[in-house]
Amino acid sequence: MTANHFVSRAPANSMILGEHSVVYGQPAIACGLEQWIEIQWTPIHTPTIEIESELGSFQTDLDNIQIDSKLKFIGHALKAFQKQLSSQQQGWQLKVHSEFSSTIGLGSSAAVLAACLAGLNHVCRTNQDFSELWHIGKKIIVDIQGRGSATDLAASLFGGLVFFQPPAKNQRLKIQSISANLNLILVYCGYKTATAEVLAQVAQNWQSKPQELTKIYQKMGSITQHAYQALLQNRLSVFFLCIEQYQACMRELGVSDATLEKIIDLLNHCPNIQAAKISGSGLGDCALGIGEFFPERDDNNLLTHCPIKTELSEYLQLQLPISNQGAHLIHTMKKDIH
């Protein structure tokens, strides 16, 4: 028999605005980045799924898909398509390769989930668009983590810079691409705290002041909306101001610790960086510096002419372009299996 051998891939991602508040229905802005997770799909003659990854190897039957604890996102995605997979007369070998580490806050879980969903959509011929795949992925994220907005999944599926409005009682899901020349640098502080743990800590710290906490989330949502409009109108000075205002809210929440504050202060001393804030839930992970990207320039290094780049060199730095593509397939070709 013949089947398609192919690669599905999806970009890393970063939150620009919307941390914390997006979990409570407020909008967010996120982006895909030019670092990729790829899954190579090879048809095999046995009705099994074989997974090879840096996190481990695992094999399971198509008729009774089991989930390995180290490969939860792939396992849950496979189970979501189990009916279609088990009806086929072949199995698949999946080889997962990542260009970036899972420990530095580039959304590896969402990226591998996006790549897997795109591959399964092709294998099972379900012809679902990215919004439909997002809904499947959102359920998977909540099943695994207990909560989550899946903003990062939207960024890895759609790619580019996206405005994300989560579905709620009076509003439908909105994922809209934004055209803007932004230049980003992520600086990893050296440690991270799980998002669920940070959210739980914020809830505990504010449990006696729920109304005040709600007001902060509403303010964050308003800032993100204002930033979105500023990007649509190419008013980058207003957008950069919104970044600073959002960081003030993160500080008020109590998630901007001493190390992140130090890095943000260092980034703000660089003339090519117009604003800086936490990227992610805080209490570790990355700080984000943002400037303007100039297509006509050969050198868009945000640390050029930066007087404190020696101090910043103590931390891992990642200056990555925003990806133009989201999840997609490559190297499709026919392969005989026996």
pLDDT of 338 strictly over 50: no
Q: Output the domain CATH number for residue 116.
A: 3.30.230.10
Read off the amino acid at residue 242: C
pLDDT tens, 4-18?
789 999 999 999 999
Look up residue 321 and give its DSSP letter.
P
Indicate whether 44 and 31 sit together in one domain: yes
Its domain, for residue 25, covers 2-178+324-336
Indicate whether 277 and 170 sit together in one domain: no
Indicate whether 57 and 95 sit together in one domain: yes
Q: What percent of the chain has pLDDT over 90?
A: 78
Q: CA-to-CA distance for 297 and 217, rounded, in angstroms?
A: 38
Q: Which of 85-89, 149-153, 286-290 has the lowest mean pLDDT?
A: 85-89
Indicate whether 170 and 186 sit together in one domain: no
pLDDT tens, 168-220?
878 889 999 999 999 999 999 999 898 889 999 999 999 999 999 999 999 99
Look at the chain and report how many structural domains it folds into. 2
Q: CA-to-CA distance for 290 and 277, rounded, in angstroms?
A: 9
**pLDDT given for residue 231 in this prediction:** 97
Q: Which residues pair with 182 in a beta bridge?
A: 292
Indicate whether 36 and 153 sit together in one domain: yes
CA distances from 329 to 39, 62, 155 (A): 10, 23, 17
Q: Output the domain CATH number for residue 217.
A: 3.30.70.890
Q: CA-to-CA distance for 73 and 114, rounded, in angstroms?
A: 10
pLDDT tens, 58-67?
999 998 999 9
Rg (CA), the chain: 21
User: For residue 127, what are its two tokens?
Assistant: 């012809």
